Structure 1
Amino acid sequence: MPRKQRCRWIGAYPDCWEFSPEEDTEEEPVIMSLDEFETIRLLDREGMTQEQCAGQMGVARTTVTAIYNCARRKIAEALVDGKRLLIRGGNYRLNSRGTENIIRKGKKSMRIAVTYENGEIFQHFGHSEQFKFYDAEDGKIISEQIADTNGSGHGALAAFLKAAQVDSLICGGIGMGAQNALAEAGIRLYGGVSGSADAAARALAEGTLQYDPNVKCSQHGHAHGEGHSCGHHHGEEHSCGQHRGEEHSCGQHHGEEHSCGHRHGDEGCRNHHGE
């Protein structure tokens, strides 16, 4: 029996989750996992060596080589064959840098985050410089904390919220890329809300918050859709990112610990030796 595959550390969620050719295609999309995306980001965008990338992701250099080879082949297939490229799932754990001073929530608490500025709900998620966190139990707010964000951009902010143990987010306007990142993080979204941050958090805890389920990012805050009354859910924590199903093997074997190829709908790559 192979050892359980080790989680790979990633720094943030991507800002863009889908890339499509100009012409519509009925071809099966290419699926790139978040740990594969991370090797592209670190090696090709940040210019790290494979040794540095391996240290950042917490795996062996040979594993990084194999993941990277798989990611490059997927990019090539999408470009050459004109297929959609989707970034989804994978075997990963988010880096928690920047959340060291945030109090850990209780096991029975729901943590609510609100985009925050001077007591009000800040209306542009991707530019939020602060969040206010509220821990709720039995329909009541039991603790509050204001935290500065550790980066900008939808993906980085969603990763920050995930690392801060957030279950639900209240905000104004928010784009589809950010919504995808929050969904990947398992964070429930309540968008299109304005006014007092404290009042909105209390209403969510009580299950009476009015929000827009079809919220979109706009220059003026939130879409003017019909309000929606909500309750809340206590999402379970994930020890290793958002795992989308079973591990999967692929076709291109390079003699490494990780193999790739995905022409039959595989959504990532499996490390057969435990990395």
Structure 2
Amino acid sequence: MARPTRCRRVCMEPAYDCFQPDGVPTREEVMMTLDEYETIRLIDLEKRTHEQCAKQMEISRTTVTEIYETARQKLADSVVNGKRLYISGGHYQLCDGTASFCCNKKCRYAKTSVKKIRIQRKEENQMRIAVTYENGKVFQHFGHTKQFKFYDVEDKKVVKSQIVDTNGQGHGALSEFLTQAGVDMLICGGIGGGAQTALSNTGIPLYGGVTGEADEAVNAYLTGELNYDVNVHCSHHEHEHHCGEHHCGEDKHGCVGNGKSCQ
């Protein structure tokens, strides 16, 4: 009987998870997993040895070598043959800061403690609207949002609101976070394909492509005047992209790479 594959520890998800040749349309693609990406990041960028990489990822050195060689081959295939490169999925779990060997300064959990999120109770006859939030406005990148503002609505009037920190969670975890918070619908700016899929799986309706003041957006929704985009996607400034939080066995596709749609 084969031994089960050990979940590989990944410090963080990539800021960019889709790349394609500039100005050259292509249907061919290469899929690099998050654990493969992590070996490239640690060995090639941070100049770690295979043994150090293995210790950080909590797997054997021989396994690291196998993953690394596969990752390098995929990277070469993409660059040399002009194939679109996705970084998504894999058998991994994100670092939670509890491992005996941590990446320290690079780790989002290093020398910090996760704050307990306290959310006010919603009454059964109320509707809870969530808005991606920053400085009073609708934040434009769902996967990067550091805060939501929740509006509890009764008889088409806001009766209570609260601002809640997300603790740096990505889109997969954010979707689950909204579900657990009792959210009935979401208003946001840009949102990627992977995030839309995760959100769709929760059954929470999405109103994307919204800009301006968060309070005004909610009032516009309540009066039937909200201006939103049914075909919304995320297109981050300076081509930045990060669409999510995924753990062992989950899959993710990027939505934008190099300023071009990678759908």
TM-score bracket, shorter-length normalisation:
0.5 to 0.7
CA distance 1:47–1:165, shift in 2 (3 Å): farther
CA distance 1:90–1:133, shift in 2 (3 Å): farther
Aligned twin of 2:170: 158
- Give the letter aligned to residue 35 of structure 1: D
Q: How does the TM-score come out when normalised to structure 2?
A: 0.57
Question: In the TM superposition, what whole-angstrom CA distance separates every residue of 1:58-102 from its partner, at most 9, and x where no partner exists?
Answer: 322322221111100111122223322222321122334377214
Aligned length: 212
CA distance 1:4–1:202, shift in 2 (3 Å): farther
Which has the higher mean CA deviation after the structures are superposed, 4-13 or 141-150? 141-150
Tell me, in whole angstroms, the C-alpha distance in 1 between the residues paired with 2:159 and 2:94. 27
Tell me, in whole angstroms, the C-alpha distance in 2 between the residues paired with 1:163 and 1:55. 31
Aligned twin of 1:264: none
- Give the letter aligned to residue 116 of structure 1: Y
- What is the root-mean-square deviation of aligned Cα atoms in Å? 4.9
CA distance 1:117–1:28, shift in 2 (3 Å): closer
Aligned twin of 1:213: 230
Partner of 1:165: helix, strand, or coil?
A: helix
Match status 1:33 vs 2:33: yes
* Identity %, equivalent residues: 41
Aligned twin of 2:147: 131
Tell me, in whole angstroms, the C-alpha distance in 2 between the residues paired with 1:95 and 1:201. 36
Tell me, in whole angstroms, the C-alpha distance in 2 between the residues paired with 1:56 and 1:8. 9
Partner of 1:93: helix, strand, or coil?
A: strand
Aligned twin of 1:81: 81
Aligned twin of 2:195: 182
Which residue of 239, 248, 254 corresponds with 1:240? Answer: 248
CA distance 1:164–1:61, shift in 2 (3 Å): farther
Is contact 2:9-2:58 (8 Å) kept?
yes
Which has the higher mean CA deviation after the structures are superposed, 78-87 or 194-203? 194-203
Question: In the TM superposition, what whole-angstrom CA distance separates every residue of 1:136-181 from its partner, at most 9, and x where no partner exists?
Answer: 9xxx99995532765xxxxxx6369549834586422x3xxx6145
Match status 1:60 vs 2:49: no
Aligned twin of 2:117: 103
Gaps in structure 1 of 5+ consecutive residues: 151-156, 220-236, 245-275
Deviation at 1:44, TM superposition (A): 1.9
CA distance 1:218–1:47, shift in 2 (3 Å): closer
